[in-house]
Amino acid sequence: MDIQSTGNGLPENAYRKLNEGEEYKPVVPSGSPLPELTSYSLLWGMFYAVLFSAAAAYLGLKIGQVFEAAIPIAILAVGLSSMLGRKNALQENVIIQSIGSSSGVIVAGAIFTIPGLYILGIEASFIQVFLASLFGGFLGILFLIPFRKFFVKDMHGEFPFPEATATTEVLVAGESGGNKAKILVKALVIGGVYDFLISGFGLWKEKVSTLVTPWGRSIADSVKLEFNILTSSAVMGLGYIIGLKYALIIASGSFLAWWVFVPALYYIGQFNPEPLLNAAKPIADMMPQEIFSEYVRHIGIGGIAAAGIIGIIKSRKIIGGAFKLAANEITGKSSSDKSETVKTDRLQKDISMKWNVILIMATLLGIFSFFLISVLGGNIVHALIGLAIVTIVSFLFTTVAARAIAIVGTNPVSGMTLMTLIISSVILVAIGLKGEQGMLAALLIGGVVCTALSMAGGFITDLKIGYWLGTTPAVQQRYKFLGTLLSAASVGLVILMLYKTYGFGPGGLEAPQASAMAAVLKPLMTGQPAPWLLYLAGVLLAIILEFIGIPPLAFALGMYLPLYLNTPILAGGIIAHLISKSSKDKQLVSERKERGTLIASGFIAGGAIMGVLAATIVFIGQSIFGEGWTMMKAIGTEHWSESVGAEYLGFVMFAILLYYLYWDSKRVK
């Protein structure tokens, strides 16, 4: 079958709700399949799983945001098949991106938790990182499968699926011409070179702040208020894809935290000369970053935990339906809509529920053995309790993660993991497991849960892409396990390399989510007072936001991430909004937005890949020339990169990059 016979794009009803009696017919019909799993798609999918695991690990540890690898992998797959003149490669490319995109989601699970061990002074082994990532990834796949039909078919047109939409458009465009691939490759080079000139050569400052000006310093000293932004092409590109609405919600949470709560706490702190909670010094002596880390961030943590619970409550019918589906298939009962046509339709064929349950039980047995032998020193009771926490939380939050990806395109998995850590710590301390071993157990439990939820959110994107294009779900599901295996092994090696090269926490790679995990965990496990009132404030805030119609997950996420990570996201969202208002011609605006999405995706992929390249060069350089060697030292820009001039230049270069994204997107006439 020639894909061109289906037209140059998706069917007209791909993104909207279906009318009564209307049916969505994918690009590749059920009865006319194209090659899906071939040696070509398998090998390239495995290659991208390894490559993008390294790239995503670097970016996530540096800025706390793990990019979704589906878009850049899809573009690379399309470009390669075009170069090789490979015909009818659409479904092969779907399988390539499905296997390869395991990288980003596995990385998120690992880097949001595991570096917290190093920050707490606990050395995690490769096998611990690997198994936590592997078992978590497997659980995420298996727990999501019963919900596939609901999210991708039953709710067709209800959810925007921003990441899946962009990836699908890339894959379809690749079959009709290589122009879109050229746009993305150019943006990848520009974004990669831009970020490499910062992280590698230090030609301008990466994080710029109003502190560089006398008036900015004066305001920061007097009322603890400052503005800062990360001049990263990758983060700005992420903001463009998210769009203004959710970028603004995330940024608003950050503005409330940094421009209201931080100054307010500083003012209150003037009347209390003693340190509060576990802080090392009084509030009056703290800088804005310290006030945020010690106090304000905990409000965001409480908000994220509450938002996750709200999501579970809202998804209770879906969860009940999944149990009913599993029971019906295992007992052989037929549901009312399970006609012979549906049974034989490859487009609705999942891994059988019986096999799904068998694989879930095998994975849970592996998790139990992992906890028993490698984490808890042979204590069966502790291992069983750890297994129960992982199983219950992972299953309940699977729908929350999938819904977040379907609506926003970003997964608030770190917030749900923070709640898991709090629950785990309270339970583990109650059974007598505390101190260093308790922290190790809690963070590895959190690592498995975080990876499971990250995988559930990422995999729903793959399955929606397959639904739009006509891929067999069972094929995607089977070979997602392979991508998970390779990604888990890769991320374990990369985390160890980056730890030895840079370290984690202050003075190294910031790993903001893992730092937050460590900050939450330590007081709970060492008997110190926990900031329960601050958590409660976040819970109440999330409830209020839900009542007034503002997504509490996105807002709370902004509250506990540093301001400089959220401001470039907002900048990218503003550019996306300007493009959407650049013409009254809806078709023209749509094409401009699509071009902008390709450019932003190139920035994300290029910045991350070059970040890994810079880390690799430093790693090799330190192995040869000793610790402390950097490229900046080698070329003499070390002092310039921290100078006032470099900071001003950072503002200017970021403004130029924003203008380029706007200008190039508007070139569509």
- List beta partners, residue 509: 504
Average pLDDT over residues 161-189: 73
Q: What is the pLDDT of residues 317-352, one digit of tens each?
A: 766 766 676 666 666 665 444 444 445 577 888 888
Name the pLDDT band for 7 (thresholds 50, 70, 90).
very low
What pLDDT is attached to residue 3?
44
Find out whether 61 and 512 touch, Cβ atoms under 8 Å: no
Average pLDDT over residues 465-489: 89
The domain total for the chain is 1
What pLDDT is attached to residue 396?
77
What pLDDT is attached to residue 569?
87
Rounded CA separation 598/166 (Å):
8
Rounded CA separation 351/578 (Å):
44
Name the pLDDT band for 485 (thresholds 50, 70, 90).
very high
Amino acid (1-letter code) at residue 210: T
Residue 646 within a domain: no
- List beta partners, residue 229: 208
What pLDDT is attached to residue 2?
42
Q: Nearest CA to 574 among 668, 662, 669, 663? A: 662
Rounded CA separation 280/298 (Å):
17
In a 3-state reduction of DSSP, which class is residue 379? coil
Q: What is the pLDDT of residues 563-580, one digit of tens each?
A: 888 899 899 999 999 998
Find out whether 373 and 281 touch, Cβ atoms under 8 Å: no
- List beta partners, residue 209: 228
Find out whether 151 and 159 touch, Cβ atoms under 8 Å: yes
Encode 212-228: b = buried (16+ Cβ within 10 Å), e = exposed.
Answer: beeebeebbeeebbbbb
Rounded CA separation 46/38 (Å):
12
Residue 441 within a domain: yes
Residue 137 within a domain: yes
Lowest average pLDDT, out of 1-10, 31-40, 418-427, 541-550, goes to: 1-10
- List beta partners, residue 504: 509
Q: What is the pLDDT of residues 580-608, one digit of tens each?
A: 888 888 888 888 887 887 788 778 777 76
Q: What is the pLDDT of residues 608-656, one digit of tens each?
A: 667 667 766 776 777 777 766 777 877 878 888 788 888 889 999 999 9
DSSP 604-659: HHHHHHHHHHHHHHHHHHHHHH-TT--HHHHHT-TTGGGSHHHHHHHHHHHHHHHH
What mean pLDDT, rounded, does the chain reach?
Answer: 80
Report if pTM > 0.85. Answer: no
Residue 400 within a domain: yes
Residue 464 within a domain: yes
The β-bridge relationship of strands 228-230 and 207-209 is antiparallel
What element of type H or E holds 391? helix 380-407
Residue 654 within a domain: no
Residue 217 within a domain: no
In a 3-state reduction of DSSP, which class is residue 505? coil
Backbone angles phi, psi at 556, to 5 degrees: -65, -35
What pLDDT is attached to residue 363?
93
What pLDDT is attached to residue 59?
62
**Burial environment of residue 475 by CB neighbours within 10 A (0 to 12, 13 to 18, 19 or more):** buried
Q: Which domain holds residue 499?
A: 47-159+340-525
Which range, 145-149, 622-626, 657-661, is most confident? 657-661
Residue 316 within a domain: no
